[in-house]
Amino acid sequence: MSDARFAFVSGARRREEVAAYLPTNYALCGEGLLDGRTFYVIGGYDDHGWTLDDYVIPRLVSGLIAAVEVSEQEAREVIASSSRPDAHIGLPARREERI
C-alpha cells in the first residue's frame, strides 16, 4: 500500500466535471455504481496545501459535488469490479517525480 489518498465522489454529471475540480496532484481513477447511480473514484498525493481534506474535498463541495475519503483497498475493489474495460488506478506522479 502507498500513501496515496482516495475518495468516492457523487453528484457530478460527467467524469470531466470531476476532473475540472482537481489539482494536478489528484486524478480521476475510475467509477462505480451504487443504487443505480454513477460515482467516481479520485486519488492522489497530498502536496503542501493541496490536500484531500483542506483543498480537494472542499473544492468539489463548492460545486455541489459530494466526496468522502475511502481506503486504497475500497478504491481498488470498486475499480476492479467496474464494467469499464479501461478501469484502473492511474495516479498522478508525485511532485518530486514531476521535477
C-alpha grid cell, residue 63: 460545486
Longest dimension (CA), the chain: 42
**What pTM was estimated for this model as a whole?**
0.82
| Nearest partner of 28 among 6, 55, 51, judged by Cα | 6
pLDDT digit string, tens, across residues 11-58: 999 999 999 999 999 999 888 877 778 889 999 999 888 999 999 999
pLDDT of residue 80: 77
For residue 5, give the 3-state DSSP assignment. strand
34/32 Cα distance (integer angstroms): 7
**Confidence at residue 67, expressed as pLDDT on a 0 to 100 scale:** 96
